[in-house]
Amino acid sequence: MTDVNLAPNNAQNLQVVIGLGQSGLSAANYLANRGYQVAVTDQSAAPSLASQLASSIVTRKFGGIDQALLLTASRIIISPGISLEYPAIQAAKAKNIPVVSDIQLFCDANQVPIVAITGSNAKSTVTTLVGQMAKDAGINVGVGGNIGIPALNLLENEDMELAVLELSSFQLETVTDLNAQVATVLNMSPDHLDRHHDMLGYHQAKQRIFQGAKSAVINRNDPMTKPLLAKDLPCLSFGIDAPTGDDFGLIVENGQTFLAKGHKKLLSADELIIKGRHNLLNAQAALALGTLAGLPLESMMTSLRNFSGLEHRCQFIARHQWVDYFNDSKGTNIGSTMAAIEGLGAVYAPKDGKLLLILGGQGKGQNFSELAPLINQYVSHVLLIGEDAKKIAADLTSLAPEISLQSCQTLENAMQAIEPIVQSSLSQVQAVLLSPACASLDQFNSFAERGDCFVQFVQNMTA
């Protein structure tokens, strides 16, 4: 363990930050700039962001989480990637030392309404869309949290009027009384079970988003998104069916699908740049959140018409030899991939088209048999990559016996396997979908790198 002491350390009221990623760096510098005595510990022997720490942070223990340091803390600020079950953290909690996240620090200092967004899938899309809706309505909005900008960085904007936060289950498990103006759990499907152990633990972490909330948005097609404790909250709902009251939903007339609020049709799905049923749900969720945050409906509709979606989230890349290629590398769990298959499958099925699906990576303890019904309905070929390819094949083989499963090991091999498949005279493939349902860290540095590689392969193919 590397032990760097730049000056004598007075442990009185010591704040110890665990983990020196972006959120840990923001927390450490935020506290140091407010006169706290701060120490930082990280499992890496040489954290890449260490050079950006404030000079007043005099104790830096790298190469392992330093239990002795934690036991001297008045408060511990834990980064999302560090499990609360780490032995040194358990030892500190046994001594009743508070363990919080950067999100809790943000809440303690924040003075503006919060739109709080979590869920297994679509968090970033909905967060970005609500942020754009607020900006287009002339509101000075800060957008951050799990989406890439640490929440504490938003406090640097002294004129901020609204904060829109994407929150992961890891961030929420150490937050108490978020007190959001409006909070939502967009959807629930198995994810991070290697961290939370089971769906109960995962669900409990997500539910913390409703603590102190003034209103809520729920997915009426997913009972697990409803607040369990704060049952009397004012709520708006969204769903795939026709809405009632002031809720949001879908109305189908003469084969045309419309976004609707109550009985009022708002706009045709054909007017949206983003495609797929999952994106119609995302659009509704954003409208409901914006409504409860006080945004004007007409302005939100304009923002929605102009929204083109996010990279790596069912992102259309190109058409090559009459086959469309979609990058959904952000599909790192089964629920996200199910939404992508169903959303795009429904587009191509009326044309008698099928999807070719690329699956695999680090499976995070998921049961991939849950994908089988949708694969049977919309997919003709599955190409498997990554360290859990064999497990995925074992989960699917007996439940999807008519589907071609091919082990390719790497994404590059999978891309090479596509051309002979789509050129076959029997092929029904009209779209290739990279939606791995797995984490990427077995072969890539991030889901973004995985998606960028896919995009590059497609571009090389179409050049």
Cα(263)–Cα(303) distance, rounded to whole angstroms?
A: 22
> Exposed (0-12), middle (13-18) or buried (19+): which is 270, by Cβ within 10 Å?
exposed
User: Which residues are CB-contacts of 185 (< 8 A; sequence separation ≥ 6)?
Assistant: 118, 119, 206, 207, 209, 210, 218, 219, 224, 225
**Six token digits for residue 132:** 């754009």
Q: In sequence order, what E strands does 102-168 have?
A: 114-118, 141-145, 162-166
Q: State both tokens at 186.
A: 């967009």
| Structural tokens at position 456 | 């590059």
d(CA 216, CA 378): 34
pLDDT on residue 61: 95
The full set of domain ranges for the chain reads 2-100, 104-306, 315-462
In this predicted structure, the answer to whether residue 10 has a pLDDT above a threshold of 50 is no
Q: What is the pLDDT of residue 405?
A: 96
pLDDT: is 135 or 82 the higher one?
Answer: 135
Q: Superfamily assignment of 315-462 in CATH?
A: Mur ligase, C-terminal domain (3.90.190.20)
Judge whether 63 and 2 are in contact, CB under 8 Å. yes
Tokens (6 digits) for 210: 């409703």
For residue 6, what pLDDT band results from cuts at 50, 70 and 90? very low
pLDDT at 204: 85
> Tell me: the pLDDT tens digits for 359-388?
999 998 899 999 999 999 999 999 999 999
Task: Please name which of 319, 369, 389, 388 lies closest in space to residue 348, comparing C-alpha atoms.
Answer: 319
Tokens in use for 85?
Answer: 């079950």
Give 215's contacts (C-beta < 8 A, 6+ positions apart): 181, 182, 183, 233, 234, 235, 236, 292
Just give the CATH number of 2-100.
Answer: 3.40.50.720
Distance CA(262)–CA(167), nearest Å, equals: 29
pLDDT band at 315 (very low <50, low <70, confident <90, very high): confident
Residue 201 CB neighbour total at 10 angstroms: 15
Does the pLDDT value for residue 55 go beyond 70? yes
The answer, yes or no, to whether residue 198 has pLDDT greater than 70, is no
**pLDDT at site 12:** 57
Question: What's the one-letter identity of residue 60?
Answer: R
Q: How confident is the model at residue 192 (pLDDT cuts 50, 70, 90)?
A: low
- Rounded mean pLDDT of 395-403? 93
Q: How far apart are CA 433 and CA 43, in angstroms?
A: 36
- The CATH superfamily of 104-306 is Mur-like, catalytic domain (3.40.1190.10)
CA 30/CA 167 separation, integer angstroms = 19
Closest by CA to 276, choosing from 315, 246, 306, is 315
| Residues taking part in catalysis | 123, 146, 192
DSSP state of 288: H
Average pLDDT over residues 240-268: 94
pLDDT of residue 199: 66
DSSP string computed for 220-282: TT-GGGS-SS-TTS-EEEE-SS---TT-EEEEEETTEEEEEETTEEEEEGGG-SS-SHHHHHH
* Phi–psi pair at 423, nearest 5 degrees: -85, -10
**pLDDT for residue 193:** 52
pLDDT band at 8 (very low <50, low <70, confident <90, very high): very low
Q: What does residue 311 show for φ and ψ, rounded to 5 degrees?
A: -60, 145
Q: Tell me if 278 sits within 8 A of 342, measured CB to CB.
A: yes
Q: Do residues 117 and 167 touch, judged by C-beta distance below 8 A?
A: yes
> Quick one: pLDDT band at residue 275, thresholds 50, 70, 90?
confident
Q: What percent of the chain has pLDDT over 90?
A: 75
How much is the average pLDDT of 338-361? Answer: 90
* Dist. CA 26–CA 429, nearest whole Å: 47
